Amino acid sequence: MCGIVGYIGHRDAFDILVKGLHRLEYRGYDSSGVALVNGADELHVYKAKGKVSDLEHAAEGKDCSGTVGIAHTRWATHGEPSVRNAHPHVSNSGNLVIVHNGIIENFALLRDQLKQRGFHFNSDTDTEVLVNLIEYAQQTHHCNLAEAVRHALRKCIGAYAIAVLDQRDPHTLVAARKGSPMVIGIGENNSEFFIASDATPIAEYTKNVVYVDDEQIAVCHPGQPLDITDLRNQHVDVSVKTIDMDLDMLDKGGFPHYMLKEIFDQPNCLRDCMRGRLFAEDDMGGNDAYDPSTGYADPNVHNDVVLSAVRNNRDRLLSASRFIIVACGTSWHAGLIGKQLIEHYCKIPVEVDYASEFRYRDPVIYPTDVVIAISQSGETADTLAAIKLAKEKGACIFGIVNAVGSSIARETDTGIYIHVGPEIGVASTKAFTGQLTCLILLALALGHTKGTIDEKEYVDMIHELNAIPAKIEEVLKHNEDIRLLARTYTYATNFLYLGRGWNYPVALEGALKLKEISYIHAEGYPAAEMKHGPIALVDNMMPCLFVATHHKGYEKIISNMQEVKARGGRIIAVVSANDDEVSKIADAVIEVPDTLAPLAPLLSVIPLQMLAYHIAVEKGLNVDMPRNLAKSVTVE
């Protein structure tokens, strides 16, 4: 879950590398480092424990010259966060230097073998083993750097995305990948190359990128075309893609934190998500009537959901005997709502699995199954492994991802991009509502094609979904009220989040947000399950947050509130506008606009995001970089 950056070309590398690290810091911020080779073929390595800003301070006044370099921001796997364990790691001779994202599972065995051959180690990391293994391959095979990397990686078990330099050959940068993400940017006329864990550090320099596939090795040499081979030394055709990234999304835009900015981005993000897919009769131009990806260009289309994934895979999706949703964390919560949507509108049974469990329990999968993989980054290791397993058993794979060109996007048979732009804050916000929006669009399009959704309900859902971004803007107006409310609950050490039906997964998501960034223990439950254990925890020090919009089960959840109140519990409630019942019971009420029940999560989750954010800020915590967490979980 670390972030790697590399550059070789004609510019000063240091500034490019450090800016890239800042943009990848959401992937890890235990420590960071940079290695540079200058014009005198001298290697300079600077490291620091902590954030990238600490690295900048460590490098002040040092020789940071050079037009080739690699850099790293770390989320610790092997070895505690420290300078000695920070990347880049240098080989015993001092000639080779490497950065690495991933885990070499057999590193202990390799380290013992290298020790027997006279190598010594200065860190606790698997990465230092790898750079010395490459050096050993150079020595024994008398080969160039790329060949040495190939020999070494054949002995490695695990996952890696690496960039390697040899100070004796400063005009060559070698990169390789298996199981961890990597993208290479190509400058005009191959004059320069940029390597990164994702496209965010590259986008301002070039739009032309290559996504490196598993077990491929790339050799970057300015002035020459990118050369990619596999571990068997077979040449691979280089497929150059064009990226189109809004660089404004990578800045805070005047907000104190990325998380708050991304919470406030959600209305426009969902408009982007629906554009070219949702066509409402009262649409005044917010959704274009033409989508290049579908070729759908009828300006008269109204009250319809058009998804190329459904149109182009109609028979496979309609004949599915079962859908299986695999995901992790926030994406899993979205999947729980997706299950209700697909079963309600499409009448197809749906299972929802943690990808991390699915891949290890010998699941029963049939060729008639459709497996839906949900991942913001498109690189989640467990989800990627789960879909590879499902593909082997003949299932159709449908992806819902945010990152264009990501590993999961490339592995799937079809799918939907959520199009909410880069999400930098570690705690997911706009990706969650984007995933929900795509799941709603999928259920509506498939249900309508299948004939299992009533026409009036279909049209009503389209109109109401079209109105959701404006209704989210109404919810965001409560930000100051929620900030003041948050002050009351910074004392809490535990929290219960409770909901029913469509809002039960929202309770889970709200609890996760609070845990992630405020470090307050919180649990989400179906409200009816409260009596089966959690009510034993309720007292006047246990805040209970109820998601209680005015839909099916509303009367039942009122009863649950009464039970908490009778035991001295403090109640916060998210309710539909003009609710006059809950306010008689709850200590605090946050209103959201009324909407149709299946769309309620798109509104009710917003106050929970804001509450978690403001509680964490009141506690003086860094909400964008919570301890022990990284944005993209690319290792097990």
Active-site positions read 2, 631
List of residues 6+ apart from 137 with CB closer than 8 A: 143, 147, 148, 149, 151, 152
Q: What are phi and psi of 55, to 5 degrees?
A: -65, -40
Residue type, 100: H
- Tokens representing 185 are 């940017």
- Tokens representing 24 are 């990848």
Residue 111 contacts residue 184 (beta carbons within 8 Å):
no
Task: Report strand pairing: 183-186 vs 43-49.
Answer: unpaired
Query: How far is 586 from 131, CA to CA, in rounded Å?
Result: 60
Query: How far is 284 from 234, CA to CA, in rounded Å?
Result: 54
Collapsing DSSP to helix, strand or coil, 250 comes out as helix
Number of C-alpha atoms within 13 angstroms, CB side, residue 270? 27
Collapsing DSSP to helix, strand or coil, 99 comes out as strand
Number of C-alpha atoms within 13 angstroms, CB side, residue 343? 13
- Tokens representing 394 are 């003949």
- Tokens representing 33 are 């480092």
Q: What are phi and psi of 309, to 5 degrees?
A: -60, -35
Query: How far is 59 from 65, CA to CA, in rounded Å?
Result: 11
Query: How far is 538 from 563, CA to CA, in rounded Å?
Result: 10
- Tokens representing 459 are 């049209």
Q: Which among 91, 93, 47 is positioned nearest to 71, based on CA atoms?
A: 47
DSSP tag of 453: S
Query: How far is 319 from 337, CA to CA, in rounded Å?
Result: 22
Q: Which among 439, 480, 419 is positioned nearest to 340, based on CA atoms?
A: 439
Give the other-Cβ count within 10 Å of 139's Cβ.
12
DSSP class per residue in 161-216: EEEEEETT-TT-EEEEEEBS--EEEE-GGG--EEEESSSTTTTTT-SEEEEPPTTE
Query: How far is 404 from 291, CA to CA, in rounded Å?
Result: 16
Secondary structure, 3-state, 579-631: CCCHHHCCCEEEEECCCCHHHHHHHHHHHHHHHHHHHHHHCCCCCCCCCCCCC
Residue type, 283: D
User: What is the side-by-side order of every strand in the sheet holding 350-354?
Assistant: 350-354, 322-327, 369-375, 396-401, 414-417
Residue 303 contacts residue 459 (beta carbons within 8 Å):
yes
List of residues 6+ apart from 447 with CB closer than 8 A: 345, 346, 347, 453, 458
DSSP tag of 235: B
Query: How far is 57 from 48, CA to CA, in rounded Å?
Result: 9
- Tokens representing 47 are 């490291």
